Amino acid sequence: MTVLFADLTGSTELTDELDAEEVHALLGSFFDLADASVADHGGIVDKHIGDCVMAMFGAPVAHGNDPERCVRAALDIGRRVPILAAELGRSIGVHIGIASGEVMASGTGSARHLEYTVTGESVNLASRLTDKAATGEILISDSVHRALAERIDCSEVGELAIKGLAKPVKAWRLRAFRESARSGRQGFVGRHRELRQLEAALAQCRDTRRGRTIYIRGEAGIGKTRLLEQFQLKAERENFACHSGLVLDFGMGSGQDAIRSLVRSLLGLTGESSQEEIDAAAQKALEDGLLADERRVYLNDLLNVPQSTELRTLYDAMDNAARNRGKRATVAELVTRASGRRPRLLVIEDLHWADQMTLDHAANLAEKITGCPALLVMTSRIERDAFHELRRATIAGQAIVMIELGSLRPREANRLAAAYLDTLGEIAQRCVERAAGNPLFLEQLLRHAQEHAEGGIPGSIGV
């Protein structure tokens, strides 16, 4: 699990200038900001302690990329606090510490007030790193650095003596996430049959100008996302525009994040776009004929753009079912018209966490894209399988292609472990056997074995 502490600085100094209520409001704004960043990246806030937020990534649900999510949340907080400071005209800042490792996670408290807390060395370390970080700095532990080494820009801080730890520990100062570092990871292995199947669907979609839906199912960490990344490279070379949405297990609460991010992406927006850019893109979509004018009210809802007075009246008069119908039709129209201009690859990831509304959108899209050049690819873990639900919801006879993603072959797993052979020798081989073809599990075992080069392989790792 990866633990983050983000501590606000400057608020104590302000207690002279401000009254208690103002300080409280200031803290509230900081907590709103930090909590939202954590939630948006799939973490959960463990608690607020004084001026500090403690958050964790990887429990109760592991995503497979929790260090990345955590680091992204930290950078997001680091970016937004100075903006908040400017808005409020107050000299506040934030310093952040991140560490990862095995922790004890347990439910405490009574039946009426259940608290989920974690304890362990990494919690202590993250907290101490926060203390050591200057305002505006993010310090990460060596384990976090190792997990993301090729994908982040950072500088070494050197060894720090940490209270409660016997030996000094290495820490790193984080600067940025390298967005285009796909190549920094282990090379892609295997999945030939699945890629051929996906590529055949792509070619067919291009040639017949009719889409279809592909559903990729497999256990956590088996390589669904990685397979899709590989496929996207191919699709881009074939002049498909790619758009993806990720269903977060917890997050902005609306449960429709995946569809909303698909819509934003179809309009050329990113998660970083400002409110003005979003407004302008919505306007342009109507002017360019990507959407009929009467869709505006639903588009505003999908983009979280405030309604005009006139549309507000219309919107308020509708019941929820009507709004949802309107939004589904709007998304479908957007996809149909956009794909008419350039073929599209639409990806909805992690459907096992989707709420009913997202599933309804997915089913509706699956039906509509049979008439336009757009390929819809969805992924899901096995535990809650939306496949049958989707199939029932789409029109009869409408096939959804299912790809069951199984274990990597031993030869392929060996190739993934090859980079570790020099340092780990025969232990790398034992990791391969133990991981039984799950690449995420294999990566974690190898990394762990390297950390404890003396040789112990842990009995289990939460995947």
Ligand X SMILES: Nc1ncnc2c1ncn2[C@@H]1O[C@H](COP(=O)(O)OP(=O)(O)OP(=O)(O)O)[C@@H](O)[C@H]1O
Residues that bind Mg ion (CB under 5 A): 224-225
State the CB neighbour count (10 A cutoff) for residue 93: 18
Q: Residue 359: what residue type?
A: L
C-beta closer to ligand X: residue 103 or 222: 222
For the window 95-114, what string marks contact with ligand X as x by the rule CB under 6 A? --------------------
CB-based contacts of 269: which residues, under 8 Å, 6+ apart? 277, 278, 281
- 412-419 contacts: CB < 8 A, separation 24 or more? 412/189, 412/190, 412/437, 413/189, 413/437, 413/439, 413/442, 415/187, 415/189, 416/186, 416/189, 416/442, 416/443, 417/442, 417/446, 419/186
Distance of CA 263 to CAs 71, 372, 437, Å? 26, 17, 36
424 binds, among Mg ion, ligand X, none (CB under 5 to 8 A by kind): none
Query: Alpha-carbon distance 179 to 172, whole Å?
Result: 19
Could you tell me the smallest distance in angstroms from the CB atom of residue 179 to Mg ion?
18
- 25-31 contacts: CB < 8 A, separation 24 or more? 26/88, 26/90, 26/92, 27/51, 29/84, 29/88, 30/81, 30/84, 30/92, 30/94
Which of 416, 424, 431, 449 is close enough to bind ligand X by CB under 6 A? Answer: 416
Sign of the CA dihedral with 188 first, then 192, 194, and 200 last: positive
189 binds, among ligand X, Mg ion, none (CB under 5 to 8 A by kind): ligand X
Residues 434-453 touching ligand X, rule: CB under 6 A, are 439-440, 443
Which of 93, 223, 326, 373 is close enough to bind ligand X by CB under 6 A? Answer: 223
C-beta closer to ligand X: residue 189 or 346: 189
Which of 64, 67, 101, 326 is close enough to bind ligand X by CB under 6 A? Answer: 64
Could you tell me the smallest distance in angstroms from the CB atom of residue 356 to ligand X?
21
Residues 260-319 touching ligand X, rule: CB under 6 A, are none
C-beta closer to ligand X: residue 80 or 381: 381
Residue 390 CA, chain-centre distance (Å), reads 23
By beta-carbon distance, which residue lies closest to ligand X? 223
* DSSP one-letter code for 273: -
Could you tell me the smallest distance in angstroms from the CB atom of residue 7 to Mg ion?
31
Could you tell me the smallest distance in angstroms from the CB atom of residue 65 to Mg ion?
8
361 binds, among ligand X, Mg ion, none (CB under 5 to 8 A by kind): none
Tokens of 222: 């088996």
Give residue for tokens 């308020």: 316
C-beta closer to Mg ion: residue 130 or 438: 438
Tell me the β-bridge partners of 100. Answer: 2
User: β-strand 241-246 against 169-177: which pairing, if any?
Assistant: unpaired
439 binds, among ligand X, Mg ion, none (CB under 5 to 8 A by kind): ligand X
Give residue for tokens 């009210």: 297
C-beta closer to ligand X: residue 97 or 223: 223
Could you tell me the smallest distance in angstroms from the CB atom of residue 370 to Mg ion?
26
301 binds, among Mg ion, ligand X, none (CB under 5 to 8 A by kind): none
C-beta closer to ligand X: residue 29 or 230: 230
Interacting residues with ligand X (CB under 6 A): 63-64, 185-186, 188-191, 218, 220-226, 350, 381, 416, 439-440, 443
